[in-house]
């Protein structure tokens, strides 16, 4: 399976999501990208699944999905 993106990791700092993808680091204000993530607890935010194909990220505890292409524009 060809990877769309190489997702190296995702972390959170305060109200910011830090995404390491395709050898770059991107920072997103949670309120700008996802209301459910902005309102989620630390445990809910940190419990995520990265798509094996590199397409996106899923947070099962809050049933939220974000695509990498959508985040990067």
Give me the domain span that covers residue 43: 7-72
Task: For residue 64, give the CATH number of its domain.
Answer: 3.30.2020.40
2 assigned to some structural domain: no
Q: Which two tokens stand for residue 28?
A: 């997103």
How many structural domains are present in the chain?
1
1 assigned to some structural domain: no
Distances (CA, A) of 2 to 11, 25, 59: 25, 22, 23
Output the pLDDT for position 2.
Answer: 76
Distances (CA, A) of 47 to 27, 41, 58, 73: 18, 10, 9, 24
Mean pLDDT by 10 residues, the chain (73 residues): 89 97 96 98 97 94 98 93
22 assigned to some structural domain: yes
Helix residue ranges per DSSP H, the chain: 30-33, 35-39, 42-46, 68-72
Output the pLDDT for position 1.
Answer: 67
This model's pTM is above 0.85: yes
14 assigned to some structural domain: yes
């Amino acid at each position: 399976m060809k990877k769309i993106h190489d997702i190296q990791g995702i972390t959170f700092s305060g109200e910011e999501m830090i995404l390491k993808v395709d050898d770059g680091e991107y920072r997103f204000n949670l309120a700008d990208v996802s209301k459910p993530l902005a309102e989620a607890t630390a445990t809910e935010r940190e419990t995520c699944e990265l798509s094996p194909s590199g397409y996106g990220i899923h947070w099962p505890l809050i049933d939220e999905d974000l695509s990498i292409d959508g985040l990067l524009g």
